[in-house]
Amino acid sequence: MTETLGKTKTIEMMAVVKDKPTEGFSYVKKEINTDLHEDEVLIKVNTASFCGTDLHIWMYDNWAKKRLKLPLTVGHEFSGEVVKIGSKVKRVKPGDIVSAETHIICNECEFCLRDEGHICENTLIIGVDTDGCFADYVKIPAQNCFVSDKSSNPLHLSVQEPLGNAVHTVNHFPVEGKTVVIVGCGPIGLMGVDVAKAYKAKTVIAIEVNDYRRNLAKELGADYVINPITDDVLSTIMKITDNRGADVVCEFSGNKTAIETAFRYVKAGGGLSMLGIPSEEIKINVADDIVFKGISIYGVVGRRIYDTWYQVKDLLERNLLHLDKIITHQFPLSEINQAAMVMNNKNCGKIILFPGV
C-alpha cells in the first residue's frame, strides 16, 4: 500500500463533507492529494467516533456558521494506520496504529513554549479548521499522532481524544477519596463518571436530564444519579454530603442553571473543573460562592499535550475503564446522517463510525 501511494499524487476516497449551509452532511467521492509536507503523515482511517462538535456542524448552528469555511471534510476523533510519511517525519513510521491529538499547535507562541500547548493562541482543529477524519484517509501533522498498541481494541482507540477531555477535567483536582459531582452525562460526562471511579473517588454523583444516560451513569458505578427536572439538585447534594458540599465538581453540561447551582454546592476549598460551554450569560455570587469559600476554578481546554494522552493510555492498559458500556451505537460511515439523528435525540452514549462500509 505504501509503495503504491508513493507513485500516485491523488487517490479517490469516500468522505463526509459539509458542503451546504443547511442541516445535514453529504457522503461523497472525492480525491485526496497524497503529496505530503515534510512534517505530515497520511493515515488510513480504521474507526472514527461522533462528537458533539460534529453535531453542531451537522445542524449548522450559529457557531458553525461563524466558524466554518465550506466545503469541509468533517470529523476529528479516530484511529488508523499510517500509510505514508513526510521526508522529515521521525515520530511515526508506516504501519503504526495511531490516534490524533486534534489541536494543531504552532510550537512558537508563549503558551507552546512554556509547555501549555493546549491553550496555544494559534490552534487549528482537525475537522473544523482543516479537513478531518470522516473519510477513508486523512492527512495530519506527524506531531499530532499518538502511537497505540496494535493489539488494542480499535473501538477504544478511536475515543481516546474525547476520553482525554474527561481525564483532563476529572484529574485536574485530586479525586481519590473525594466526593465528585459529574454535571451532564453526555458521552464525555459518562466517561467522566468512569474516570472518577477509576481514580478511586469515594462518592460519584451524576446529574443528567436524559433517562437513557442516567441509566448508563448507574451502570458505570455512579453512587447517586440526580434528575434535575424532578429533583432539587442543591438540597440533594447537600444532604448526601452532610451539608458540606462536593469536593470536586466536573461541569460537562454547559447548562446555565446547572453551572449556577454548581457554584452553590461545591465545598469550601473545593475545585470546579469546567469543560461545558454555556450559550447564555452566567450569574454567580462571586463573594459568597467563590471568594469566601476559597474555591478553585479550572477551565478545561482539550487535553494537555501529551500528559493527558499518557494518562489515558495508562487507564486503558490497566483495564480500569468500561468503554464498551459507553460505546452504544455503531454505524457505517455511509450512514452518517442516521448517526447524527441518533446523537441529536440523545438516547445514546458514544457512536462509532466505520469508513469503507
Q: Is a pLDDT exceeding 90 seen at residue 179?
A: yes
Q: Is a pLDDT exceeding 80 seen at residue 79?
A: yes
Task: Enter the pTM of the model.
Answer: 0.94
Would you say residue 259 lies in a domain? yes
- Clarify whether residues 178 and 287 are in a common domain: yes
pLDDT digits (tens, 9 = 90+) for 89-126: 999 999 999 999 999 999 999 999 999 999 999 999 99
- The parent domain of residue 55 ranges over 2-158+322-354
Instruction: Report the pLDDT value the prediction gives residue 260, as an integer from 0 to 100.
Output: 98
Would you say residue 309 lies in a domain? no
The catalytically annotated residue of 34, 53, 169, 328 is: 53
Q: Which long-range contacts (CB under 8 A, 24 or more apart) does 277-284 make?
A: 278/254, 279/254, 280/256, 281/256, 282/256, 284/260
- Clarify whether residues 34 and 136 are in a common domain: yes
Helix (H, G, I), strand (E, B) or coil at 1: coil
Confidence class for position 234, pLDDT limits 50, 70, 90: very high
pLDDT digits (tens, 9 = 90+) for 131-151: 999 999 999 999 999 999 999
Would you say residue 139 lies in a domain? yes
CA 301 to chain centre: 10
Confidence class for position 178, pLDDT limits 50, 70, 90: very high
Taking only Cα atoms into account, the Rg of the chain, rounded to an integer number of angstroms, comes to 21
Looking up residue 114, the CATH number of its domain turns out to be 3.90.180.10
- Clarify whether residues 236 and 216 are in a common domain: yes
Give the span between the Cα atoms of 205 and 233, in whole angstroms. Answer: 10
Instruction: Report the pLDDT value the prediction gives residue 33, as an integer from 0 to 100.
Output: 95
Give the span between the Cα atoms of 172 and 273, in whole angstroms. Answer: 7
Would you say residue 213 lies in a domain? yes
Cis preceding-peptide flag for 306 (omega within 30 of 0): yes
- Clarify whether residues 244 and 329 are in a common domain: no
Instruction: Report the pLDDT value the prediction gives residue 243, as an integer from 0 to 100.
Output: 97
CA 27 to chain centre: 23
- State yes or no: is 53 an active-site residue: yes
Going by C-beta distance under 8 Å and a sequence separation of 6 or more, which residues neighbour residue 50? 77, 339, 340, 343, 350, 351, 352, 353
Would you say residue 317 lies in a domain? no
Instruction: Report the pLDDT value the prediction gives residue 4, as an integer from 0 to 100.
Output: 45
Instruction: Report the pLDDT value the prediction gives residue 9, as an integer from 0 to 100.
Output: 85
- Clarify whether residues 326 and 246 are in a common domain: no
- State yes or no: is 329 an active-site residue: no
Instruction: Report the pLDDT value the prediction gives residue 6, as an integer from 0 to 100.
Output: 54
Would you say residue 8 lies in a domain? yes
pLDDT digits (tens, 9 = 90+) for 2-31: 444 556 689 999 999 999 999 999 999 999
Q: Is a pLDDT exceeding 90 seen at residue 357?
A: no
Would you say residue 343 lies in a domain? yes
- Clarify whether residues 211 and 337 are in a common domain: no
- Clarify whether residues 130 and 20 are in a common domain: yes
Would you say residue 263 lies in a domain? yes
Q: Is a pLDDT exceeding 70 seen at residue 169?
A: yes
Instruction: Report the pLDDT value the prediction gives residue 219, as an integer from 0 to 100.
Output: 98
- Clarify whether residues 31 and 99 are in a common domain: yes
Question: Average pLDDT for residues 197-208, to the nearest whole number?
Answer: 98
pLDDT digits (tens, 9 = 90+) for 263-273: 999 999 999 99
Question: Average pLDDT for residues 310-332, to the nearest whole number?
Answer: 97
- Clarify whether residues 176 and 194 are in a common domain: yes
Q: Look over the chain and give the mean of its residue pLDDT values, rounded to a whole number.
A: 96
Looking up residue 204, the CATH number of its domain turns out to be 3.40.50.720
- Clarify whether residues 112 and 183 are in a common domain: no
Q: Is a pLDDT exceeding 70 seen at residue 52?
A: yes
Q: Is a pLDDT exceeding 90 seen at residue 85?
A: yes
- Clarify whether residues 268 and 337 are in a common domain: no
- Strands 77-85, 97-100: pairing is antiparallel
- Clarify whether residues 174 and 258 are in a common domain: yes
Give the span between the Cα atoms of 11 and 32, in whole angstroms. Answer: 6
Side-chain-facing half-sphere of 324: CA atoms under 13 Å: 3
The catalytically annotated residue of 2, 56, 241, 329 is: 56
**Structurally, how many domains does the chain consist of?**
2
